[in-house]
Chain A
Amino acid sequence: MGCSIAGIIDESGKRFSGEEIIRSIKKMFLRANGLGGGFAGYGIYPENKDDFCFHVIYNSEKVKEDTENFLRHDFNILKSEPIPTRSIEEIINRPLLWRYFLKVKQEVRKRFYEMTEEDIVMRSVMKINDASAGAFIISSGKNMGIFKGVGYASDIGRFFRLEEYSGYCWIAHDRFPTNTPGWWGGAHPFGLLNFSLVHNGEISSYGINKRYLEEFGYKLTLRTDSEAILYLFDLLLRKHNLPINIVHKILCPPLWSEIEKMTQKEQDLYRTLRIVYSNALINGPSAIIVSDGKIMFGFSDRIKLRPLVAARKGTKFYLASEECAIQEVCSISSGIHFPKAGEPAIGYLNNK
């Protein structure tokens, strides 16, 4: 499939309007067919930056009520409001779109002392999404949110009034779906906790990645490979506490023949990674951008069957499927970088 992906991070942490990422992704509209688009923005809720923010899609008022009752078991709801939208004729049949700012209740933390706050959030998200009762949590991190739906990404961006938000990191996706029907929850980015991910491709290893994740309690309700990749990041970065470079080497490991040429110490490391995490290898054509608010990480599959371009200008770092999307928002004459197969391109948030 020919989806497009894009991402911009200001490594100094300076926030900028969502308008920029809309323009970037719009430039590649030929790669999409209007069946899904979306954005993730980081740093957009500074006044609630320490609270979990849930963006939720509802089918009906009734489910909303049930879901809120369920959320009240584990969370104090600090704020509950509709996600602001504007009426535009391109976007029709929109579901109920709601956002909450939440804190995990103290008593719940005490009762489940073996779980982190994140584990408790993940458990609730998995429960609600897995029930497929008409409520779907599309993002659940702190000081970040995902905005997505059925339509071209640029229309979705206008619909959600993203130009009114400012964030230091944005990623976007415009979709040409082949494997799942158009549905608001099925558009990219996919999110869990602070992670958000956009993906162009189709992975041939999905079946085993899914079974592997299920062993760790992840519920893959969407039947899409992108969701699996997102959870792999969550598992490896957050739960297994591995640095991003190692995670990348797990998802896209070097060939055995390359490993054999390394120093003994490197061989030990890479061999161990491949042996222990064989179920997490991502196979098949993919270009992926993922962020957790601290980094923006882009990579393609081991034999680069999907495009990815990177560039840096000033404190900003850009990723996109095509160079034109970067040129659109920052004209650069040099410094465009075409990462090789399996080579990552990373932007880091520098401010502490």
Chain B
Amino acid sequence: MKTLTFPDFVINRDNEKCIQCEVCVRQCAFDAHTLDKETNKVETDIKKCVGCLRCATMCPTGALCVSEYSQKIRKNCNWNEKQLKELYKQAETGGVLLTGMGTDKDYKIIWDHILLDAAQVTNPSIDPLREPMELRTYLGSKPSKIDFRFDISDLKLKNLQKGILKTKLPPQLKIETPILFSAMSYGAISLNVCRALAQAAEECGIYYNTGEGGLHKDLYKYSKNTIVQVASGRFGVNPDYFEAAAAVEIKIGQGAKPGIGGHLPGEKVTEEISQTRMIPSGTDALSPAPHHDIYSIEDLSQLIYSLKEATEYKKPISVKVAAVHNIAAIASGIVRAGADIVAIDGIRGGTGAAPTRIRDNVGIPIELAIASVDSRLREEGIRNRASIIAAGGFRNSGDVVKAITLGADAVYIGTAALVAMGCHLCQKCYTGKCNWGIATQDPYLVKRLNPDIAARRLINLIKAWSHEIKEIMGGMGINAIESLRGNRLRLRGFDLHDNELKILDIKPAGESL
């Protein structure tokens, strides 16, 4: 069938500059560049270009320029180019549209409508380069008070040593900065990427998350900084897996595809992946939409406690859910079911593969989810029982500060971490042909990502964001992150509706205390 669709990009090759070196031919896994054997000239098929800019970045002479396809259909706000292309594609294939990464729809980004406060005159700002500035955070369940026994007649209690601390804290994850690497499974991403994430987590004093794809043997040495996932497919779950983790996360859902399972096609299930996931190589790895043993909150509670038993109550158990309409009640249920951490993934969360319609239409923004969950847990007096990790499209340290000020304990970053390693957001992760060597298992492509260099880039990113967070806190006159967390009086909404302000529980810009 002749395709009616038209290209997304044009590639312009400057023939004056091109030296016919064929770098672009080798770099493009989508075959947008080929060598015409007869003329011995490099040719380009723009229809195949996915816009990942790999060729343009690698071209030694700077001969390539990728830009948007300029030939336009008649302007129509309703039936725009994207709609038409998707319709043609479905008419030609009869299939569900697939995509990768987080939604690219222009939903309002509430972060950009929230403004931060700073100290002026009555309350001095603090220079983080001269004064201590503490970002350390502990994730896990906390008792609502401590039990400290002391002799009441010894009111002066000159020696605190004489008192006895009766309270034993439940297990905690210590993080030096409130940022963790979000769940990305080996299979969706390459082992090199996993290595880079693990190395960076170790160096930064934070955690990375294995996702649902099991834990490769080479990564066991990073166990101190590893959160392992138990998802509906139960891939790679075994006693060593728990042993090698600092915490276990039950994955119920993710922001990019709430209510949808996962599907790693057999061709990606290499020998190594089959070992790690504990499934035969070459078979499809299917994650069912629900956990087949969780049909209600009591079932979740059972799984949480089975995992606590299995890890001897030494490791926090997290439950990850997508931010959906009823998220506050769901989170409350999860906390009451015994979770130590609730991870919430908003509508802009990324993925290796998801049906486009689900990714673009299901869920709610993480900003609103954080606010409503934190408020709800406080209303119920159970906020201390679990930490909140927010996920879903954190783009910079400003977003992170705002999330924490709304009430999150920490954030998960996935997309931002991949971009730091070279991802150009072409959204073709589901094809397995990632030209940047990230979302692929093809050995030729995997080689492109050097784990040590990628780790260095991640470490730089976390360091940079941490510096920025300190700078912002200092400006607010705050020197410990616990005084920022949930301190919504330091936020103002700008250009937000009354309802949004109400849910975020923040005042509009211009309104004083």
Which A residues fall within an 8 A CB radius of B? 1, 178-179, 201-202, 204-208, 210-211, 214-215, 223, 240, 242-246, 249, 253, 255-257, 265-266, 268-269, 272-279, 281, 283-285, 294-295, 302-303, 305, 346, 348
Contacts of A284 in B (CB 8 A): 123, 477-478, 483
Q: Does B161 contact A (CB under 8 A)?
A: yes
18 A-B contact pairs sorted by A residue (CB < 8 Å): A205-B487, A208-B485, A208-B486, A211-B378, A223-B513, A245-B157, A256-B134, A257-B132, A265-B161, A272-B167, A277-B146, A281-B483, A283-B483, A284-B123, A285-B124, A294-B155, A303-B479, A348-B155
Q: Which chain B residues in 261-285 approach chain A with CB under 8 Å?
A: none
C-alpha spacing A208/B483, complex, angstroms? 7
Category for how many chain B residues contact A: 35 or more
Chain B residues with CB under 8 A of A206:
487, 489
Chain B residues in contact with chain A, CB under 8 A? 119, 121-124, 126, 131-132, 134, 136, 138, 142-146, 148, 150, 155-157, 160-161, 163, 165, 167, 169, 172, 378, 381, 383-384, 476-480, 482-490, 513
Query: A205 to B487, alpha carbons, bound, how many Å?
Result: 7
**Is A202 a contact partner of B122 (Cβ separation < 8 A)?**
yes
Pairwise interchain contact A243-B134, C-beta atoms closer than 8 A: no
Q: Which residue of B lies closest to A202 (CB)?
A: B123
Q: Lowest 5 CB-CB distances: which A-B pairs, in order?
A: A207-B489, A205-B483, A278-B482, A207-B487, A283-B483
Q: Are B486 and A279 in contact (CB under 8 A)?
A: yes
Q: Which residue of B lies closest to A282 (CB)?
A: B483
Contact A273 B146 (CB under 8 A): yes
Check if A278 sits within 8 Å of B134, measured CB to CB: no
Min CB–CB distance B50 → chain A (angstroms):
45
Give Cα distance in the complex from A207 to B478, angstroms: 12
Query: Taking each of A208, A268, A276, which has the highest tally of chain B beta carbons within 10 Å of its own beta carbon?
Result: A208
Residues of B within 8 A of A245 (CB): 157, 160
Identity of the chain A residue whose Cβ is nearest the Cβ of B165 in the assembled complex? A269
Give chain B nearest CB distance to A36 CB in angstroms. Answer: 15
Q: A208-B487, A294-B155 are in contact. Are A268 and B165 (CB under 8 A)?
A: yes
Which of B131, B144, B378, B488 is in CB contact (< 8 Å) with A303?
B131
Is A283's CB under 8 angstroms from B480's CB?
yes
- The complex places the Cα of A278 from the Cα of B137 at a distance, in Å, of 10
Chain B residues with Cβ under 8 A from A215's Cβ?
A: 378, 381, 383
**Which B residues are in CB contact (< 8 Å) with A294?**
155
Specify which chain A residues have a CB less than 8 angstroms from the CB of B124 in the assembled complex: 285, 305
Q: What is the CA–CA distance of A348 and B154 in the complex, to the nearest angstrom?
A: 11
Q: Which residues of A contact B384 (CB under 8 A)?
A: 276
Question: Are B513 and A276 interface neighbours, CB within 8 A?
Answer: no
Q: Say how far A253's CB is from chain B's closest CB, in angstroms.
A: 8
Q: How far is the CB of A117 from chain B (nearest CB, A)?
A: 19
Of A204, A210, A243, the residue contacting B150 (CB under 8 A) is A243
- Tell me, in angstroms, the Cα distance from A303 to B148 when the chains sit together: 27
CB-CB nearest in chain B for A242? B148
Point out the residues of chain A lying under 8 angstroms from B490, CB to CB. 204, 207
Contact A204 B478 (CB under 8 A): yes
Residues of A within 8 A of B479 (CB): 283, 302-303
Contact residues in A for B134 (Cβ distance below 8 Å): 255-256
Q: How distant is the Cα of A261 from the Cα of B172 in the complex, in angstroms?
A: 20
Q: How far in angstroms is the closest Cβ of chain B from A43?
A: 17
**Least distance between B336 CB and chain A CB atoms (Å):** 16
Give min CB distance, B106 to chain A, whole Å.
32
Set B136, B145, B155, B489: member contacting A276, Cβ < 8 A:
B145
- Contacts A179-B122, A215-B381, A275-B172 given; does A281 touch B482 at CB 8 Å: yes
When distances are taken between beta carbons in the complex, the residues of chain A under 8 Å from B381 are 215
A272 touches which of B123, B131, B157, B165 (Cβ 8 Å): B165
- On whether the beta carbons of A1 and B486 are closer than 8 Å, the reply is no
B161, closest chain A residue (CB): A265
Bound complex: CA A202 to CA B121 (Å): 11
**Alpha-carbon separation in the docked complex, A208 to B490 (Å):** 10
A246 to chain B, nearest CB (A): 6
Q: Which of A246, A266, A275, A348 makes the CB contact (< 8 A) with B142?
A: A275
A281 near B480 (CB under 8 angstroms)? yes
10 additional A-B pairs beyond A204-B483, A211-B487, A285-B477, beta carbons within 8 Å, are: A214-B378, A243-B157, A244-B155, A256-B136, A272-B167, A272-B169, A274-B482, A275-B138, A279-B482, A294-B155
Using CB atoms, name the residue of chain B closest to A305.
Answer: B124
Do A348 and B513 have beta carbons less than 8 Å apart?
Answer: no
Residue on B nearest A352 in the bound complex, by CB? B153
- The answer on a CB contact under 8 Å between B163 and A276 is no
Contact A207:B160 (CB < 8 A) given known A179-B513, A240-B146, A305-B124: no
Q: Please name all residues of chain A whose beta carbon is closer than 8 Å to the beta carbon of B148 when the two chains form the complex.
A: 242-243, 246
Please tell me if the beta carbons of A1 and B122 are within 8 angstroms of each other in the complex: yes
Q: Could you say which residues of chain B place their CB within 8 Å of the CB of A295? A: 155
User: What is the bound-complex CA distance between A305 and B122, given in angstroms?
Assistant: 11
Chain A: which residue is nearest B378 at the CB level? A215
- Nearest CB in chain A: distance from B490 CB, A: 6
By a CB distance below 8 angstroms, the chain A residues around B146 are 240, 242, 272-273, 276-277
Q: Which residue of A lies closest to B135 (CB)?
A: A256
- What chain B residues lie within 8 Å of A210 (beta carbons)? 489
Nearest Cβ in chain B — how far from A233, in angstroms?
14
Nearest-neighbour CB distance to chain B for A112, whole angstroms, equals 19
Report chain A residues within 8 Å CB of B131.
303
* Residue ID in chain B nearest A250 by CB atoms: B146
Measured CB to CB, the closest approach of chain A to B505, in angstroms, equals 9
Q: Are A255 and B132 in contact (CB under 8 A)?
A: yes
Q: How distant is B146 from chain A, measured CB to nearest CB, in Å?
A: 5
Could you tell me the distance in whole angstroms from the C-beta of A291 to the nearest C-beta in chain B? 14
Q: Nearest Cβ distance between residue B504 and chain A, in whole angstroms?
A: 13
Instruction: Give the CA-CA distance A266 to B159 in the complex, in Å.
Output: 11
How many angstroms from the CA of A256 to the CA of B482 in the assembled complex? 12
**A222-B137 Cα distance, complex, nearest whole Å:** 31
Question: Which of B142, B477, B486 is close to A207, meaning CB atoms less than 8 Å apart?
Answer: B486
Query: How far is it, in angstroms, between the C-alpha of A197 and the C-alpha of B468 when the chains are bound?
Result: 36
CB-based contact A283/B163 at 8 Å: no
Q: How many whole Å from B332's CB to the nearest CB in chain A? A: 14
CB distance from A38 to the nearest CB of B (A): 20
Q: Across the interface, which residues of B come within 8 angstroms of A249, CB to CB?
A: 160
Name A216's closest neighbour in chain B (CB-CB): B381
Query: Cβ of A283: which chain B residues have Cβ within 8 Å of it?
Result: 477-480, 483
Shortest Cβ gap from A2 to chain B (Å):
10
Most buried by A among B126, B157, B480, B485: B480
Q: Chain B residues near A348: list those with CB within 8 A.
A: 155-156
A199 vs chain B, min Cβ distance (A): 13
Q: How far is the CA of A346 from the CA of B132 in the complex (A)?
A: 26
Which residues of B lie under 8 Å from residue A281 when comparing CB positions? Answer: 480, 482-483
Residue of A whose beta carbon sits closest to that of B152: A243
Provide the bound-state CA to CA distance between A206 and B478, in Å.
11
Q: Which chain A residue shows the least CB distance to B144?
A: A276
B176 vs chain A, min Cβ distance (A)? 9
Task: Give the residue of B119, B160, B161, B513 whose beta carbon is less than 8 angstroms from that of A246.
Answer: B160
Q: Which residue of A207, A265, A275, A285 is within 8 Å of B169 (Cβ)?
A: A275
Residues on A with C-beta less than 8 A from B163 are 243, 246, 269
